[in-house]
Chains A and B, each alone.
Chain A
């Protein structure tokens, strides 16, 4: 059985659909030539169009359309060659025109699907209902003044893709996996940076609960949830609230709610915004896509995470879990491939997912600004393969690489870590260790064979860890049986 909420009267299933607002990566806004950079001074990236000055008109940005098409293709979705822009009318301090230009009746992208992976290794398909292009609103700052709200319109008019899922999600975990997977796909496509802290991805979470086998009950929309963790927490909190309402004999009212401090609460400002009076925007004409243009965009799509994962499993013999971890970020996948190319791929995967990830974690860095380049890590693997260093020494060399960013060969030469394969030197070290531990030798020869490890350790210590392990083993075995 999957996720369920245990109420006082029995078990409840959770039904979730997500509306994700993803900020489109583009230089200029959807309908104006103002810039989209994050963190600019207030109202500095605002054109008269974005501030809805009298007589201003929207002109659409081709790249924003291309980004929506790429995303639709990446979601295996139907591309609508004719779509249209509608006005969604409501008053709000940060909505300058009194309407948002959106696509209500005829979105640019229709049905698609996303495959999500769960921690138990299973996969599920979540349906995409639609993707449409729309304008972002400005930003209201409520905490700058005791009795005023300040309005910054820098974000006003930035292109958003609203990606609406089917109500196919049945647990917080699935919702989390969905958002993460969607973010991965968008990042691969380069259509949204997926940065939830900066607000470039926000989710409206539609939650309802029901008894198993029942039709859907009333849902509530939890607005503007801005992290994967909060999406999961909001679902749990809202589902529990609804179960309590139903079980205490009440009725869940369809409404808009906010997630705050672990619970959801009704949103006052949206109380009467329910009649949006959508109608086709008369300032714009139908958006008609050229088939050849769409085909060109399709041909230039990058390899997407699902395909890459399959290829990693097939070409590199990786396990599904490892392949999944490596493709979660395109930069990680690229890094891995650069390390693995022409080398032992499994070893490469272990180093990337083990030592490299741990080092990045400690340093608070990401793979894009990794102190160890893929070429350098590959070089380290080569030095192990040709017996220049042992696996043990490799760990130390890697640490030095993390600290200094230096090339492994340079580190090895500077620190004299090159592995000793000279059998004369090894024999000499073995001889002196055995001579110094005559008592242990006697015990060994009396049958305490596990002392062999002790001798190996002593020899390696004597050789400052640089003895070739296989040769040291051979020499020890020879000498101990001969003695």
Chain B
């Protein structure tokens, strides 16, 4: 499989990464190089193999339903590039 500029644009849009037109050829070459190399996985017979999601081989532990966190709006907002009172502020979103 080879990535067309249009595909790169589409995935860049999904990933919310601004990509300039001038970057596209270099990016396409690099990404296609990586994908071409990855393609060797097609040699592996994976019939009947259960995918492994992670290295931890255990079941999920559950915590009790107790309020133990929150209640510190200033800490939560302290790093915000823009805040309005105790809200985060962003350019207006139209739904």
A positions within 8 Å CB-CB of B: 26-28, 32-35, 41-51, 59-65, 84, 91, 93, 140-142, 144-153, 258, 267-269, 272, 275, 277, 280, 282, 284-288
Contact = CB atoms under 8 A, between A and B. Distances in A.
B76 A149 contact: no
B69 A60 contact: no
Label chain B's interface by main secondary structure. Answer: loop
Contacts of A140: 93
A51 B94 contact: no
A147 B82 CA distance: 13
Contacts of A153: 76, 88
Given A150-B87, A286-B60, A49 B95 contact: no
Contact of A33 (B56, B59, B63, B91): B63
Contacts of A28: 65-69
Contacts of A27: 65-67
Nearest to B11: A275
28 contacts: A28-B67, A32-B70, A33-B66, A33-B69, A34-B70, A41-B86, A42-B85, A42-B87, A43-B73, A44-B71, A45-B70, A59-B63, A60-B60, A60-B63, A61-B63, A62-B63, A62-B65, A93-B88, A142-B95, A145-B84, A148-B84, A148-B92, A150-B88, A151-B88, A268-B94, A284-B60, A286-B53, A286-B60
Contact of A62 (B64, B69, B89): B64
B58 interface: yes
Nearest to B56: A285
Contacts of A148: 84, 89-92
B77 interface: yes
Nearest to A276: B14
Contacts of B53: 84, 280, 282, 286
A285 B60 contact: yes
A268 to B, nearest CB: 6
A interface: dominant SS: loop
B62 interface: yes
A226 B64 CA distance: 31
A44 B86 contact: yes
B93 A269 contact: yes
A59 B61 contact: yes
Interface of B: 13-14, 16, 53-54, 56, 58-71, 73, 75-77, 84-95
A151 B90 contact: yes
B89 A151 contact: yes
B73 A44 contact: yes
From A33, A144, A284, name the one whose CB has the most chain B CB atoms within 10 angstroms.
Answer: A33
- Chain B CB within 10 Å — which of A46, A60, A258, A284 has the most? A46
Contacts of A84: 53
A267 B95 CA distance: 6
B92 A269 contact: no
Contacts of B62: 59-62, 65
B30 to A, nearest CB: 21
Contacts of B84: 144-145, 148, 150
A35 B65 CA distance: 10
A167 to B, nearest CB: 26
A42 B77 CA distance: 11
A32 B90 contact: no
A282 B52 CA distance: 11
A65 B64 CA distance: 11
Contacts of A32: 69-70
Contacts of A268: 94-95
Contacts of A46: 70, 73, 76
Contacts of B95: 142, 258, 267-269
Nearest to A270: B95
A275 B73 CA distance: 33
The 5 A-B pairs of least Cβ separation, nearest first, read A34-B70, A33-B68, A63-B65, A33-B69, A62-B62
Given A42-B87, A44-B71, A275-B14, A145 B92 contact: yes
B92 A149 contact: yes
Nearest to A147: B92
A93 B54 contact: no
Contact of A35 (B64, B67, B94): B67
A50 B69 CA distance: 10
B64 A149 contact: no
B73 A286 contact: no
A43 B54 contact: no
A214 B34 CA distance: 48
A286 B87 contact: no
Given A61-B65, A62-B64, A269 B89 contact: no
Given A26-B65, A59-B63, A150 B89 contact: yes
A418 B84 CA distance: 67
A27 B70 CA distance: 12
B90 to A, nearest CB: 5
A42 B86 contact: yes
A45 B71 contact: yes
A268 B93 CA distance: 10
B89 A149 contact: yes
Contacts of B89: 145, 148-151
Nearest to B86: A42
